[in-house]
Amino acid sequence: MSEAKQARMVEGKVVVVTGAGGGIGRDIALAMAREGARVVVNDIGASVTGEGADAGPAQKVVNEIKALGGEAVANTDSVSEAASANRIVQTALDHFGRIDVVVNNAGILRDRFFHKMSLDEWDAVIKVHLYGAYHVSRAAAPHFKEQASGNYIHMTSTSGLIGNFGQANYAAAKLGIAALSKSIALDMLKFNVRSNCIAPFAWSRMIGSIPTDTPEQQARVDRIKQMTPAKIAPLAVCLASEASRDANGQIFAVRNNEIFLISQPRPVRSVQRSEGWDPQSVASHALPALQASYFPLDRSGDVFSWDPV
């Protein structure tokens, strides 16, 4: 084995990447393979909104990996149901004999303002993102426990961590994923299993529907287009490796050439009355005292207000 090959960060690891037929998932799958991983490329080949199925995208990425000299296998099962998610993990076991890393990246969008959102629009997004992350993670968990090692990398979003218009379904799912990741990190720490999140900023087909009707909107899209999916992959590969062994239960964000550690909810201010509270004293004392620390109704773009670096 060459010295260069020995130095690859995830040499020999078996990595499942969901939603890997394009965009961020594809670039993560390719980067994992370049660094020595054997990859299960999962993608049902659906549209951005989740309709349809096509085995082509997953197999195309497998072909790209094999052209690089890597090992990969395609899987077209849905993450949104337990039985099919189990088949994704079983694909890793059948072809490579083990599973070391799960990258929960699969996702769809059904954007709608909340007062117009249908049950189907809510349900579909929650099932793919939140249930999908749970189902695939849960399918891998017994294997991680038995081998006393394993690694989860989940895609969250500033739409949930901070806020955005018209994405109540997506935001709820993505913030739920952050909590799921933290719970996995706590519950499985004793088995040497880690779980972290990445909030990616990247131009992909999932955000390709952003309107460009005004010069300001066009300028925003032009800025976003700088942030290619490939920018996310280096952090994902590092988190999958032993080089990041101290990172567990964390939330990172990647924005072009910037990497952020995202804060997690903690108390910021408190008030107390020795005699306790009634509704009137809450109104006259507690809320006025806390109001200076209220959070504004920020959207992601308000917080990340500067151009990508």
CATH number for the domain spanning 115: value is: 3.40.50.720
Whether 290 is covered by a domain: the verdict is no
Per the annotation, the verdict on 170 as an active-site residue is yes
Residue 3 — pLDDT band, cuts 50, 70, 90? Answer: very low
Whether 283 is covered by a domain: the verdict is no
Whether 297 is covered by a domain: the verdict is no
- Tell whether the model's pLDDT for residue 48 goes beyond 80: no
pLDDT (tens digit, 9 = 90+) per residue, 173-218?
999 999 999 999 999 999 999 999 999 987 554 455 556 677 776 7
Count of domains observed in the chain: 1
Residue span of the structural domain in which 121 resides: 3-261
Catalytic residue among 131, 134, 152, 170: 170
Q: Where would I find the beta strands (DSSP E) of 71-209?
A: 71-75, 101-104, 150-155, 193-201
- Tell whether the model's pLDDT for residue 49 goes beyond 70: no
Whether 285 is covered by a domain: the verdict is no
Torsion angle (degrees, nearest 10) of CA 153, 158, 160, 164 = -150
The maximal CA–CA distance of the chain, rounded, in angstroms, is 74
Whether 200 is covered by a domain: the verdict is yes
* Helical ranges in 35-131 per DSSP H: 56-67, 82-96, 119-126
pLDDT at 70: 98
pLDDT (tens digit, 9 = 90+) per residue, 100-143?
999 999 999 999 999 999 999 999 999 999 999 999 999 999 99
Cα 249 to Cα 290: distance, rounded to the nearest angstrom: 29
Closest CA to 88 of 103, 78, 98, 101: 78
Q: Are 300 and 199 in contact (CB under 8 A)?
A: no
pLDDT at 2: 43
Whether 306 is covered by a domain: the verdict is no
pLDDT (tens digit, 9 = 90+) per residue, 10-26?
999 999 999 999 999 99
Whether 275 is covered by a domain: the verdict is no
Whether 303 is covered by a domain: the verdict is no
Provide the token pair at 192: 């040497």
pLDDT (tens digit, 9 = 90+) per residue, 146-179?
999 999 999 999 999 999 999 999 999 999 999 9
Question: Which residues share a beta bridge with 259?
Answer: 254
Residue 47 — pLDDT band, cuts 50, 70, 90? Answer: low
Provide the token pair at 252: 């990172």
Cα 225 to Cα 223: distance, rounded to the nearest angstrom: 5
